[in-house]
Amino acid sequence: MKGIVFTEFLDLVEEKFGIEMVDKIISESNLESEGAYTSIGTYRFSEMLQLLQSLHKNSGISIDKLLLTYGEHFFSVIDKSYSGLLATYKDPIEMLSSIENHIHVEVKKIYPDAELPEFVVEEKTEDSLILIYKSSRAMHHFGLGLMNKTFEHFNSSATIVLEKIKEDGTEVKFVIKKNPHESREN
């Protein structure tokens, strides 16, 4: 797993819970890296699991909710660092449907050894999308957070239903329906 995922996670933990919590979850975990991450390094997924489990234990927040919040946070990182990539899209459905064939291709150029989940477009219309997420790492709530912020980025909203295909969360169906725009008066 790429280091940027770790560095941004710890930044979020510090922002939401304070530096003491960062120190606590690192010290409570048995990390091969000892919690010293660089954004370009590569680290074991097991370290992320340990950090998440420790944060869950110390905060009382479910791991799914932590991953959702982290996915929403990570979108801002993408927006700041890769705004040119986001600017190539005019619509959230268009962007989400191109994860596998465009966005992940660009990510691989920057991080050639990144292990990315697979997103298969099962069905697509102008206002809806069915995506199948496949990954050995059950981080689908991270993906859900990214999707939520994708719609927000385009001044839009959607109803996103997550259905586990495999109980362990390594294969999940996202059923996405764009909400009709509401007229807003100022």
Tell me, yes or no, whether 100 lies in a domain.
Answer: yes
Residues 39 and 13 placed together within one structural domain of the fold: yes
- φ/ψ of 123, rounded to 5, equals -155, 140
CATH of the domain at 147: 3.90.1520.10
Residues 116 and 56 placed together within one structural domain of the fold: no
Residues 21 and 69 placed together within one structural domain of the fold: no
**Number of domains forming the structure of the chain:** 2
Helices (H), the chain: 3-17, 19-28, 45-59, 63-81, 83-87, 92-97, 104-110, 140-153
Tell me, yes or no, whether 125 lies in a domain.
Answer: yes
| pLDDT digits (tens), the chain, 186 positions | 888 999 999 999 999 999 999 999 999 999 999 999 998 889 999 999 999 999 999 999 999 999 999 999 999 988 988 888 889 999 999 999 998 888 888 887 877 887 888 999 999 999 999 999 999 888 999 999 999 999 999 999 999 999 999 999 999 999 999 998 754 443
Residues 97 and 25 placed together within one structural domain of the fold: no
Residues 70 and 153 placed together within one structural domain of the fold: yes
What is the domain range of residue 17? 3-61
Residues 92 and 54 placed together within one structural domain of the fold: no
